[in-house]
Structure 1
Amino acid sequence: MNDVNAVAGQLTKLRERLEQKELELGLLAEQSDAERTLAISFINRLTQACRGHDRELDNKLARLRQRFEDQVPLGQLAEEIQAIERLLQHHAVALEESLRVTRDTLKEGGRHLTGTKDIPDKIRKEVREFLNQDQPYAIAEHQRQVARLLELYQQSMRALLLRPINGKAVAVEPPQPACDEQLRQRLCDELQRLITELDFTGKTGDDLAEIRHQLLTGVDFSQLPELCLRLVELIIDGARQERRESHLFLSSLNDSLNAVHLRITESLDQGRDLHEQHHRHGNEIHARLDDISLQLDSQSNLQQLKQSIRVNLQHLQALLLERNELMQREAHLIESLGAMENKLNLMREETSEYKKRMAQQKHKLLLDSLTQVFNRAAFDERVELEYKRWLRYQTPLCLAIVDIDHFKSINDRFGHLAGDKALKVIARAMSRTLRETDFIARYGGEEFVVLLPGADADNMLAPLDKLRSVVKGIPFRFKDDKVEITISIGTSLFREGDTPTEVFERADRALYDAKNGGRDRIIVV
Structure 2
Amino acid sequence: MTESSSEKLIEVLRKAVSRTSMLAEGNDPKLDSVVRQIRLAITKGANADEIQTVLSDAEPLLIQSDEAQLTRAKQVRSCLQELIDLLEQQEQKSVPQNEKKQLEAQIRMHWQASSQWPGLLKSYLSLAEKTLSQKDSNQPKSSFLKTLFNAKKNAATSKNDNEVMGQISHTLAGLINNLMLPSHYDDDIADLKKALLGNKNLQQLPALLDEIINLIMVAIGKTQENLTNYLNQLNKQLASINDSISISYHSQKNLSESREGFNSKLQTQVTDTSQAVQNASDLDSLKALINDKMATISSTMTEYRTQMLEQEKHANQSITQLKNKVTRMEKDTASLRSLLQEKLAQAMTDSLTDLPNRTAYQDAILPLCKIMQKTQKPLCLAVCDIDHFKKVNDTWGHLAGDKVLRLVPKQIRSILLKQDHIFRYGGEEFVIIFPETNMEQAIQRAEAIRLAVEKAPFNMQGEPVSISVSIGVAELKPQEDPESLFARADKQLYLAKESGRNRVMANK
What residue number does 2:360 align with? 378
Does the 8 Å contact 2:420/2:433 carry over to 1? Answer: yes
CA deviation after TM superposition for structure 1 residue 275, in Å:
3.2
Aligned to 2:429, which of 434, 447, 458?
Answer: 447
2:10–2:245 contact (8 Å) kept in structure 1: yes
User: One-letter code of the match for 1:337?
Assistant: I
Q: Provide the identity percentage.
A: 21
Match of 2:246 among 266, 271, 278: 266
The residue aligned with 2:172 is 229
Matches within 5 A, 1:322-333: 322-333=304-315
> How many pairs were matched up?
382
Structure 2 partner of 1:501: 483
Give secondary structure in 2 for the equivalent of 1:374.
coil
Contact 1:285 / 1:319 at 8 angstroms: preserved in 2? no
SS in 2 for 1:459: helix
Name the structure 2 match of 1:488: 470
**Residue 324 to residue 81, structure 1, CA distance change in 2 (3 Å):** farther
Q: 1:345 Cα deviation (Å)? A: 1.8
- Structure 2: how far apart are the matches of 1:349 and 1:420? 40
| Cα distance per residue 1:419-477 (max 9 Å; x no partner) | 11111111222123212221111111111001111112342222211111110110111
Instruction: Give me the whole-angstrom Cα distance separating, in 1, the residues matched to 2:471 and 2:167.
Output: 32
Q: 1:397 aligns with which of 361, 373, 379?
A: 379
Match runs of 1:89-108 below 5 Å: none
* Paired position in structure 1 for 2:47: none
Q: Deviation at 1:294?
A: 6.9
User: Which residue identity does 2:472 align to in structure 1?
Assistant: G
By how many angstroms is 1:281 displaced? Answer: 4.1
Paired with 1:233 and 1:277, the residues of 2 have a C-alpha distance of 65
Aligned-pair CA distance for 1:394: 3.0
Query: Which amino acid in structure 2 is aligned with residue 236 of structure 1?
Result: L
Provide, for residues 338-378 of structure 1, a one-character-per-residue CA deviation record: whole Å limited to 9, x for no partner: 12431332233233223312321221221111122111111
Q: Could you tell me whether the CA contact under 8 Å between 2:470 and 2:496 is conserved in 1?
A: yes
2:171 is matched by which residue type in structure 1?
C
Deviation at 1:524, TM superposition (A): 1.4
Q: Distance in 2 between matches of 1:428 and 1:392?
A: 32
SS across alignment from 2:467: coil
Match runs of 1:111-150 below 5 Å: none
1:437 aligned to 2:415? no
Assess, with a 3 A threshold, how the Cα gap between structure 1 residues 290 and 438 changes in structure 2: closer, same or farther. farther
Match 2:136 to one of 163, 173, 176: 176
Aligned partners of 1:253 and 1:399: how far apart in 2? Answer: 43
Asked whether the equivalents of residues 371 and 428 of structure 1 are also in contact (C-alpha less than 8 Å), the reply is no
For residue 26 of structure 1, what is the aligned residue in structure 2? none
Secondary structure of 2:450's match?
helix
- Determine helix, strand or coil for the equivalent of 1:485: coil
Q: Does the aligned pair in 1 maintain the 2:474–2:485 contact within 8 Å?
A: yes
Aligned CA distance change for structure 1 residues 251 and 421 (closer, same or farther; 3 Å): same
Query: Which residue of 2 is the match for residue 287 of structure 1?
Result: 267
Which secondary structure state, in structure 2, belongs to the residue aligned with residue 232 of structure 1? helix
2:286 equivalent to 1:351: no
Q: Deviations over 1:125-176 (max 9, x none)?
A: 9978x959x969xxxxx9xxx9xxx9xx9xxx9xx9xxxxxxxxxxxx8243
**AA aligned opposite 2:245:** T
**Does the CA-based 8 Å contact 1:274-1:326 persist in structure 2?**
no
RCO greater where, 1 or 2, for CA within 8 Å and sep 6 or more? 2
Q: CA RMSD in A?
A: 5.1
Q: How does 1:171-210 map to 2 (within 5 A)?
A: 174-176=134-136
**Structure 1 residues 131 and 263: alpha-carbon distance in aligned structure 2, compared to 1, 3 A threshold:** closer
Kindly report which structure 2 residues correspond to 1:410-421, keeping only aligned pairs within 5 A, or say none: 410-421=392-403
Distance in 2 between the 1:78 and 1:319 partners? Answer: 39
Q: 1:454 to 1:505 in 2, by over 3 A?
A: same
Change in Cα spacing, 1:408 to 1:516, as seen in structure 2 (3 Å) is same
Q: Is the 8 A contact 2:439 2:474 kept in 1?
A: no
Question: 2-side partners of 1:317 and 1:273: how far apart?
Answer: 23
Residue 385 of structure 1 deviates from its aligned partner by 2.8
CA–CA distance in 2 between the matches of 1:299 and 1:236?
92
Match of 1:423 in 2: 405
Taking the aligned partners of 1:432 and 1:237, their CA distance within structure 2 comes to 45
- 2:211 corresponds in structure 1 to none
Asked if the contact 1:73/1:269 (under 8 Å) is kept, the reply is no
Q: Within 2, Cα distance between the matches of 1:72 and 1:256? A: 20
Structure 1 contact 288–316 (Cα < 8 Å) conserved: no
- The equivalent of 2:370 in structure 1 is 388
- Higher mean Cα deviation, 389-398 or 500-509? 389-398
Normalising by structure 1, report the TM-score: 0.59
Tell me what 2:316 maps to.
Answer: 334
One-letter identity of the residue aligned with 2:16:
I
Per the alignment, do residues 177 and 404 of structure 1 end up closer, same or farther by CA in structure 2, a change over 3 Å counting? same
Hey, what's the Cα distance between the residues in 2 that align with 1:261 and 1:396? Answer: 55
Answer whether contact 1:75 1:269 (CA < 8 A) is retained: no
Please tell me whether the aligned partners of residues 296 and 305 of structure 1 are also in contact (alpha carbons under 8 angstroms): no
Cα distance, 1:245–1:117 mapped onto 2, change above 3 Å: closer
Contact persistence 1:438–1:452 (CA under 8 A): yes
Who is 1:277 aligned against?
257
Distance 1:267 1:87 in 2: 27
- The one-letter code matched in structure 2 to 1:339 is Q
The structure number with the bigger radius of gyration is 1
Flag the 1:386–1:293 CA change in 2: closer, same or farther, 3 A.
Answer: farther
Q: What secondary structure is seen at the aligned counterpart in 2 of 1:358?
A: helix
CA contact (8 A) 2:269 2:297 kept: no
| Distance across 1 between alignment mates of 2:232 and 2:99 | 49
**SS of equivalent to 1:460:** helix
